Amino acid sequence: MTLTGSRGNSVPQDEPRKDVVIAGRYRLGKRLGRGGMGTVWRASDELLGRAVAVKELHVGEGKEAAGALREARTVAQIKHPHVVVVHDVVEDDGRHYIVMELVEGGSLADRLGADGPLDTGETARVGLALLGALGAAHERGVLHRDVKPANVLMEAGTGRVVLTDFGIARLAGSTTISETGAFVGSPEYTSPERMQGAAAGPASDLWSLGALLCAALTGESPFHRDSLGGVLHAVVQDEIRPPAQAGPLAPLVRGLLERDTERRLGAAEAQRMLSAYVTTGSLPLLGSAPAPAPGRPAVPAPVGWSPTERATAQTGPAAAPEPRAGLRAGLVAALVVVAVVGAVAVTSLLSRPAGGGRDTAQDDRPGRAPATATSAPRPPAASPVTATATATATATTTVTAPPPAPPAPPASAGKPAPAGYRRVADPAGFGLAVPQDFQRTTDDQRVFYVSPDGAFRIGIKVTPASPGGPLAAMRRSDANGPSNNPGYRANTIVPTTHDGLPAALWEFTWNGFSPAEGARHTYDLCWDENGRMYDVWVSAPVGRLTEARAHFDTALDSFTPGG
């Protein structure tokens, strides 16, 4: 398949661009990848002395170029920890560039290819991160339109999930920075309404997320077929069955893959379900969220759900409803479009090498915000440069490059770390001492430092001061304990102080994440300081509480707000 640039212009041939300086500050280095929308280079920002990724856009002149840069600048306004950071948008010698953060690590597609499918906990963690990223984009009126494993980066050493390649993103009500009149995106992850030529909306990105979650659980999209026509038929008309590997996540997957956009699971409900699963290991009842505000209609459950699914939200694979007649007609129209166009424009994965560690920090405290998954972390692997071409209906090209060794966390001017620990100045705005081999990970609200085997989890959360103070906050969390944590027991809350400030200490035991691991115990202290509530906890198997208490005491003794 021929890759095309804007308005069908051929993508420029390879050029020796290494060591070229653009905009007076960005020195281009190794080419990381290329596709229909642009070429990505590893580069050095000589003004700030940092490594960046520079994407050279393949656009024409005049209005087309102006529109591309306008939309790129809008994408740059999206600020979210799971969206790739855009540092700059520049023009140099008639060429247009987007300067982005350089995420050292492979894509989710790389991860699946190297290590196989993810478990449900890790899949839920990835899904939760992507929901946050998409929500931030949608709030700005930006649709991604190409959510797929190749466009999800897994940062080496931290496991941070990053949504990238907004190259075919569209502003609501505007044209796209990709070529006019051609289909853009990856058909295996494209919603049926887009296949039919209908206007895309935020719900279209949620469909793509549902397909991505299936791919994470099985290794490939549920709509993968041997031909483009087969893919279109699968998306628009074939029966949809959540994969067996989805297990307890099957109701969520089915809700996202609802063909009727009016009935498709919304972002808020999907986030609620994933948050609960990541935190407690079980999916809440569908529709068990608080009643909608007066005057706002309740969102119906997806069609085709059995009474058992509606009542328990714990199913295996089940059949999706028959598509409506309009969708069948749309399939014919979509196939005609394919016959006329003759090719589907594709975008490239402009990613970094696989080998980033898996996040392991799952919070086992009830009533808390979303946490991360439970599989054990692994140190980043130093892999040679690899290039992989995927000859599927998405015609994706992947080029990866080896990462440098991850930098050590910056030292803090705070209290020194005892033997066997290192002091970290966390980007979230605090400092503490953690064991030498613990790795940092995070979700949308909290930071974790996790042992290599996943047994020990040091968690930190910083929020505005809570009504009623630390004691009231702990009591609210304790009240949710029995409903959120199986076997919740041995729970105590004690008012105390931390560095002379009012604090509350909460302890509890529960059945743990799996029978193999057994019961876990958590020590949790929170206190108010300068208008903020700091919450620090350590959880571990009940057979290793001596070590857990040592980590807990060290974290508290060394903790300093602001690093």
Q: Distance of CA 335 to CAs 1, 196, 253, 332, 431, Å?
A: 18, 9, 26, 5, 58
Work out the angle at residue 329's Cα, subtended by the Cα atoms of residues 324 and 335, and round it to the nearest 5 degrees.
Answer: 130
- The question of whether 146 is a catalytic residue gets the answer yes
Asked if 427 contacts 549 with a C-beta cutoff of 8 angstroms, the reply is no
Kindly report the number of other CB atoms within 10 A of residue 492's CB atom. Answer: 9
Half-sphere exposure for 551 (CA within 13 Å, toward CB): 28
**Three-state DSSP class for 210?**
helix
CA angle 532–535–537, rounded 5-degree value = 170
Distance CA 241, CA 144 (A): 25
Task: Name, in order, each residue with C-beta under 8 angstroms of 133's C-beta and a sequence gap of 6 or more.
Answer: 80, 82, 83, 161, 162, 163
Tokens of 484: 């959120």
Show Cβ contacts of residue 415 under 8 Å, excluding neighbours closer than 6 positions: 423, 433, 557, 558, 560
CA-based R_g, the chain, Å? 24
Which residue in the list 45, 110, 146, 535 is annotated as catalytic? 146
Rounded to whole angstroms, the Cα distance separating 80 from 76 reads 11
Q: Of 389, 426, 385, which is closest to residue 536 (Cα–Cα)?
A: 426
Residues assigned a catalytic role: 146
